[in-house]
Amino acid sequence: MELTPTEIEGLLIVEPRVFGDERGFFLESWNRHTFAQLGLDLDFVQDNHSRSARGVLRGLHYQQPNPQGKLVRVVAGRAWDVAVDLRAGSPTYGRWVGVELSAENKRMFWVPPGFAHGFVSLEDGTDFLYKCTAFYDPANEHSLMWNDPTVGIEWPLDGIEPQLSAKDKVGRPLQDVEAFA
């Protein structure tokens, strides 16, 4: 297991150790002890699984209060995952990091509480799995506008019109988002 920092403090790329053999492969996708040894002492309470066709864009979601930390990965297909820093006083407030996650690269992305999170599916049948540090709280879930020019996320859409949920079509601009204390 290897953790790679990104340009935003707290956002980490997690590369699991993959044991390949003639049968296929094996990897540990979560091990409390190993993660704690690497400085991530996490307490997950919910696991989620979504499937998306190519061009589906989910996000950018955050819960406030009851923020969720998310350890995300893709087990079929390919997605481009993004996190936006909403932490008050952060030197990188409003900035984003994007990372490609795929069944092939087996990479995971740790998004701590205090970020908005979303992804676009780059292939049909993209299965997205994630562990959360807090329960789903729909009354306190919000969408940051996926295409707010102030944030300026460079989505790899290749000219495709993204497919969004009704609530994500009317996300809030960054200027209307209350920063996380």
Ligand X SMILES: Cc1cn([C@H]2C[C@H](O)[C@@H](COP(=O)(O)OP(=O)(O)O[C@H]3O[C@@H](C)C(=O)[C@@H](O)[C@H]3O)O2)c(=O)[nH]c1=O
Catalytic residue flag (residue 117): no
Does position 48 interact with ligand X (CB under 6 A)? The reply is yes
Does position 131 interact with ligand X (CB under 6 A)? The reply is no
What is the closest distance, in whole angstroms, from the C-beta atom of residue 169 to ligand X in the complex?
A: 12
d(CA 70, CA 134): 9
Among 73, 87, 117, 131, interactor with ligand X by CB under 6 A: 117
Burial status of residue 74 (CB atoms within 10 A of its CB: 0-12, 13-18, 19 or more): buried
Which residues 135-154 are close enough to bind ligand X by CB under 6 A? 136
Residues 6+ apart with CB under 8 A from 127: 49, 50, 51, 74, 75, 76, 77, 103
Does position 61 interact with ligand X (CB under 6 A)? The reply is yes
Does position 165 interact with ligand X (CB under 6 A)? The reply is yes
Does position 169 interact with ligand X (CB under 6 A)? The reply is no
d(CA 154, CA 104): 23
Catalytic residue flag (residue 61): yes
Does position 73 interact with ligand X (CB under 6 A)? The reply is no
Judged by CB under 6 A, the stretch of 13-21, 29-37, 115-123, 169-177 that binds ligand X is: 115-123
DSSP 111-155: E-TTEEEEEEESSTTEEEEEEESS---GGGEEEB-TT-TTT----
Q: Which of 61, 93, 136, 142 is catalytic?
A: 61
Residues in the chain: 181
Judged by CB under 6 A, the stretch of 6-14, 54-62, 101-109, 170-178 that binds ligand X is: 54-62
The two three-digit tokens of residue 34, written as one number: 């190993």
Catalytic residue positions, numbered = 61, 130
Q: Applying CB under 6 A, which residues contact ligand X?
A: 48, 50, 58-59, 61, 70, 117-119, 136, 165
